[in-house]
C-alpha cells in the first residue's frame, strides 16, 4: 500500500512538472517549481553567452527577471539596455554599490576598478579616464591596432584562405584582442595571434577562472544550499 502511495505521489509530481513546463513554454525562461530558472542555466552552461543573448532579444527592453531556486533565495535582474547600463554604471553609480559579496565572488580581479566602491572607485575611474582620453594614448592605440591587424591578422587570414583551413573566428579575434590589450597595458606582445595558434597560458587561466566563478557561485552554491537544508530536515526527522 505504501509503495502504491509513493508511486502515485511521484507520478503526480512528474505530471505537474511536465504540465508546468509545457504551460510556460512561451515564457522567456521556464520557471520550474523548487528550482526556478536554474535548470535552463544548467542545460545551456556550454553556451551561456548565446543563451543570455537569445533571452535578451525576446524581451521588450533588454531586461528580465531571473528567479533561482527557492532554497537559496536567488533573484537577479539582468539587463543589456544601454540606458539602464548608463544609469547604473555612470549616472547613479553611487546608488548601486557592489558590496563585499561581489568582491568575494570576483576575488580574482583584486582591488581594481571592477571590484571597488565609493572613493576608491571614483579615484581609479578618474585616473583611467585621464589615460584613455589622452591624445597620445589615442594615437598609440590606433597605431597598435593598425600594426597588429596588418602584421598579424591579415597574414594569418591569407594563409588560412590559401590552405582552405577551417578556424574558429571567435578564437582568432580573441587572440587579436588579447595581443593588442597586452601591448596597450604592459607594452609586451605575447604573440598569440599567429598561424601556429599557440596556447596562451594566461588567457586560458582567465577562461578557467571565469568558468570556476560561474560554477562556484551559481550551480555549486545552489547545490550546497539545497544539501544543507535537506540535511537539516533529515536531522530534525
- Write the DSSP symbol of residue 149: I
In a domain, 231, yes or no: no
pLDDT of residue 53: 87
Cα(195)–Cα(106) distance, integer angstroms:
34
pLDDT of residue 184: 92
* % of the chain beyond a pLDDT of 90: 24
Which is higher by pLDDT, 164 or 1?
164
C-alpha cell at 21: 513546463
In a domain, 89, yes or no: no
Question: Nearest-CA neighbor of 213 among 73, 91, 109?
Answer: 109
* Alpha helix ranges (H) inside 99-219: 99-105, 118-132, 135-148, 154-162, 169-186, 201-214
Which is higher by pLDDT, 220 or 66?
66
How much is the average pLDDT of 201-208? 83
In a domain, 68, yes or no: no
Over 80: is that where the pLDDT of 10 sits?
no
Over 80: is that where the pLDDT of 229 sits?
no
Domain count, the chain: 1
Gyration radius (Cα) of the chain, Å: 24
In a domain, 58, yes or no: no
Which is higher by pLDDT, 228 or 211?
211
How much is the average pLDDT of 147-154? 94
In a domain, 147, yes or no: yes
Tabulate helix, strand, coil % of the chain (nearest 5). 70, 5, 30
C-alpha cell at 129: 579616464
User: Which helix (H) or strand (E) covers residue 86, if one does?
Assistant: helix 82-86
Residue 135's pLDDT band, with cuts at 50, 70 and 90, is: very high
pLDDT of residue 57: 87
Cα(170)–Cα(153) distance, integer angstroms:
13
Q: What is the mean pLDDT of the chain?
A: 79
pLDDT of residue 30: 78
Residue 190's domain comprises 134-198
Which is higher by pLDDT, 58 or 183?
183
In a domain, 192, yes or no: yes
pLDDT of residue 182: 92
* Distance spanning both ends of the chain, measured CA to CA: 22
In a domain, 108, yes or no: no
Over 60: is that where the pLDDT of 23 sits?
no
In a domain, 156, yes or no: yes
Over 50: is that where the pLDDT of 6 sits?
yes
Amino acid at each position: 500500500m505504501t509503495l502504491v502511495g509513493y508511486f502515485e505521489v511521484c507520478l503526480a509530481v512528474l505530471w505537474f512538472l511536465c504540465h508546468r513546463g509545457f504551460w510556460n513554454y512561451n515564457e522567456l525562461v521556464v520557471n520550474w517549481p523548487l528550482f526556478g530558472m536554474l535548470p535552463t542555466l544548467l542545460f545551456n552552461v556550454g553556451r551561456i553567452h548565446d543563451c543570455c543573448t537569445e533571452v535578451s532579444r525576446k524581451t521588450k527592453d533588454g531586461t528580465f527577471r531571473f528567479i533561482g531556486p527557492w532554497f537559496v533565495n536567488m533573484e537577479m535582474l539582468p539587463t543589456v539596455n544601454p540606458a539602464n547600463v548608463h544609469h547604473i554604471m555612470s549616472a547613479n553609480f553611487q546608488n548601486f554599490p557592489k558590496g563585499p559579496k561581489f568582491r568575494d565572488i570576483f576575488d580574482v580581479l583584486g582591488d581594481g576598478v571592477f571590484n571597488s566602491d565609493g572613493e576608491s572607485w571614483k579615484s581609479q575611474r578618474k585616473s583611467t579616464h585621464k589615460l584613455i582620453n589622452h591624445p597620445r594614448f589615442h594615437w598609440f592605440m590606433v597605431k597598435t591596432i593598425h600594426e597588429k591587424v596588418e602584421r598579424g591578422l591579415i597574414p594569418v587570414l591569407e594563409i588560412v584562405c590559401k590552405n582552405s583551413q577551417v578556424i574558429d573566428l571567435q578564437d582568432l579575434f580573441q587572440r587579436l584582442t588579447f595581443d593588442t590589450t597586452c601591448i596597450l597595458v604592459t607594452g609586451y606582445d605575447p604573440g598569440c595571434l599567429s598561424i601556429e595558434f599557440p596556447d596562451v597560458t594566461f588567457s586560458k587561466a582567465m577562461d578557467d577562472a571565469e568558468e570556476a566563478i560561474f560554477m562556484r557561485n551559481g550551480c555549486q552554491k545552489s547545490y550546497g544550499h539545497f544539501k544543507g537544508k535537506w540535511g537539516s530536515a533529515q536531522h530534525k526527522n
